[in-house]
Amino acid sequence: MTAIIKISNLDKYFGRLHVIKNISLDVQPREVVCLIGRSGSGKSTLLRCINFLEEPSHGSIEVDGIRVEGGEKGKEHRQLVHNVRLKTGMVFQEFNLFPHMSVLENVIEGPVTVKGMDKDKAMALAEENLDSVGMLFKKDEYPNRLSGGQKQRVAIARALSMEPRVMLFDEPTSALDPELIGEVLNVMKKVAKDGMTMLVVTHEMGFAREVADRVLVMGEGEIIEDASPKDLFTQPKDPRTKALIDRYRSGEN
Amino acid sequence: MIQAQISQAELLYEAQQRKVRQFRTNVVISWVALLGFLVFLFNGPIEIDSEFIRKNILFIAGGLGQTFYISILSIALATCLALLAALGRLSTFPPLYALSTFYVSLIRGTPLYLQIFFFFLALPQLGIVLPGLFAGVLALGLNYGAYMSETFRAGLSSVSKGQREAAVAIGMTPQQTMRRIVLPQALRFAIPPMGNDFISMTKDSALVSATGFVHEVMWRATRVGRAEFNNLEALIVAAGFYWMMTLVLTFIQSRIEARLARGDR
């Protein structure tokens, strides 16, 4: 099987700060990969490099056969980046719904403006996706009338409506009140079950253990552990992983 | 128990509403009293020539159209310039940034009165003779554009980085992001202060009268006032017109703002 995401020798510097250190990583189609690690370990930056919200300094990103070299400029590069973005959906910690558009308008915006999809067709697709995240009943509301959990579910529907091959989640539940986290995680489980390839930066160890096929632990800009959740939670190799898991266990009890 | 809580909240709300209504009523009464005092002043202690007013009020009112026309054209020009200047101000391309800050600094560093005279009186010396109305609109538009660029810049900056990232992540080009996501939100932010600018522009358009080429309200008032030495009456009439215009525009503005407040954020 060929990998759907291939990251090769990726480096990212912020000025003199080396935040991603020569990372290579393959993700298979339909795989759900969770990225965990302390804050500042580079996990969000790695995720944001995949759709070029952060331009990598060196190395390459390949998504569904489109290969882009980092650190380049010019029209051709911009076109490749655009093509990669069409293959990837992204969900942000802060939801970032468009406040001047209703829920339905938020979801059809990408298909209509970017893909030039017929509006009726986009609406049918949007309603289908809103239904699958359980938000169809709020389609005419504006985002300011929704709870955090509802906003994030709409944001997931918005990303899905671009029919991406890969979904990137950047701490999707970190800005939510504890009682709203469950509804978002449930929607994510459903997306995973439908066969979407997912990369999830998260602090939700329970989700990682239950849903992920693979868990990557990051520390100081490197992947320090790459294991199945079962192995990771029962026999962590790196002491930093052990510390993370111990903290999770003590919080659970 | 829950029933009791709701009715208590309702009672508190009602009490507060009563207070608000009472306050408004008192304000209206005070306004009427002040207005009555003004009317009384001009009917007794201050002698005014009502015959003059009757004779000239229509002539002065004839300038309202010009005043309004100048203001509309100027605000349109100012809006375009302000948007360009704001985009320049946020540009990372040094010449654009410099052009924008240079324009704003030059205009804000000199009096509007001087700028108006510049277009009427100084340019002809260089062989450039602009029609009166056109020169007035140019001066007002350039001036307000510089001030309004600050409003637009604030509006553009009020749109968070996350909004742009969300737009870019679904594949929007920078132009699409600007047109569909950033500008609508920035304009919504900028419309209330733009309303204020428009209202003050209708009044600043009176400065254009000083050149004598545009026959708007102020020009007409000073003309008839000076001719018959009835400046007091003429200026009172002009003041009344400006004030009424401001009241109407303020009312319209409050309606627009109320509409904008729905469904955002």
B contact test, residue of A113, A171, A199 with most B CBs within 10 A: A113
Give me the pLDDT at residue B3, please: 59
Question: Cα distance from A89 to chain B (closest Cα, Å)?
Answer: 7
What distances in angstroms separate CA B175 from CA A51, A138, B106, B227, one per listed residue?
A: 19, 30, 30, 58
- From A93, which residue of chain B is nearest by alpha-carbon distance? B162
Decide if pLDDT at A205 tops 80: yes
Question: Sign of torsion, CA A163 A165 A169 A170?
Answer: negative
Q: End-to-end distance of chain A based on CA atoms, in angstroms?
A: 40
Residues of B in contact with A90 (CB under 8 A): 166, 169
Nearest residue, CB atoms, B171 vs list A82, A94, A155: A82
Which residues in B lie closer than 8 A to residue A114 (C-beta atoms)?
A: 170-172, 176
A137 touches B at CB < 8 Å: no
Q: What is the pLDDT of residues A76-115, one digit of tens each?
A: 999 999 999 999 999 999 999 999 999 999 999 999 999 9
What are the start-end ranges of the H helices in chain B? 2-43, 50-61, 64-89, 94-108, 112-117, 132-157, 161-169, 174-176, 183-204, 217-227, 231-261
Interface test with A, best of B160, B161, B170, B181 (most A CBs within 10 A): B170
Q: What is the C-alpha to C-alpha distance for residues A106 and B265, in angstroms, rounded to an integer? A: 13
A110 touches chain B (CB under 8 A): yes
Residues paired with A66 in a beta bridge:
A63
CB contact under 8 A, A100 and B163: no
C-alpha span between A72 and A247 (Å, rounded)? 41
Say what the pLDDT of residue B135 is: 86
Contact A99 B265 (CB under 8 A): yes
The Cα of A143 is separated from the nearest Cα of chain B by a number of Å equal to: 7
A-contacting residues in B 185-214 (Cβ below 8 Å): 185, 188
What residues have CB less than 8 Å from B112, skipping those under 6 apart? Answer: B139, B140, B143, B204, B207
Closest CA to A174 of A202, A146, A199, A153: A202
- Position B123 scores a pLDDT of 85
- Which pLDDT value is given to residue B213? 78
**Distance (Å, whole) CA A50 – CA A199:** 10
Report chain B's mean pLDDT, rounded to a whole number: 88
Q: Which of B127, B172, B184 is nearest to A115 (CA)?
A: B172
> In chain A, which ranges are E strands?
5-14, 17-27, 32-37, 58-63, 66-69, 88-91, 166-170, 197-201, 214-219, 222-227
Shortest Cα distance, chain B CAs vs residue A249, angstroms = 33
What are the angstrom distances between the C-alpha of B122 and each of B129, B131, B206, B255? 9, 14, 20, 42
Please judge whether B170 and A162 are an interchain contact, meaning their C-beta atoms are less than 8 angstroms apart.
Answer: yes
Residue in A82, A86, A98 nearest the CB of B163? A98
| A159: contact with B, CB 8 A cutoff | yes
Tell me whether A248 touches chain B (CB under 8 Å). no
| Mean pLDDT score of chain A | 93
User: Smallest Cβ distance to A113: which of B166, B172, B188?
Assistant: B172
Q: CA-CA distance, A249 to A243, in Å (whole number)?
A: 10
CB B87 within 8 Å of CB B178: no
Under-70 pLDDT residues of chain B:
1-6, 261-265
A144 Cβ under 8 Å from any chain B Cβ: yes
Q: Which residue has the higher pLDDT, B191 or A69?
A: A69
C-alpha to C-alpha distance for B15 and B18, rounded to whole angstroms: 5
If you ran DSSP here, which 8-state letter would residue A43 be given? H
Closest CA to B102 of B91, B89, B115: B89
CA distance B259 to chain A (A): 13
pLDDT category of residue A214 using cuts at 50, 70 and 90: very high
How many C-beta atoms lie closer than 10 Å to residue B204's C-beta? 20
Element (DSSP H or E) covering residue A143: none
Residues of B in contact with A144 (CB under 8 A): 263-265
Confidence (pLDDT) at B5? 64
Does B171 touch chain A if contact means CB atoms closer than 8 Å?
yes
Cβ of A96 within 8 Å of Cβ of B165? The answer is yes
The pLDDT, as a whole number, for residue A253 is 54
Do the Cβ atoms of B169 and A90 come within 8 Å?
A: yes
pLDDT of residue B4: 61
Q: Residue length, chain A?
A: 253
In this prediction, the answer to ipTM > 0.85 reads yes
CB contact under 8 Å between A142 and B170, yes or no, is: no
A217-226 pLDDT, tens per residue?
A: 999 999 999 9
Q: Return the residue of B nearest to A162 by Cα.
A: B170
Q: What is the pLDDT of residue B265?
A: 44
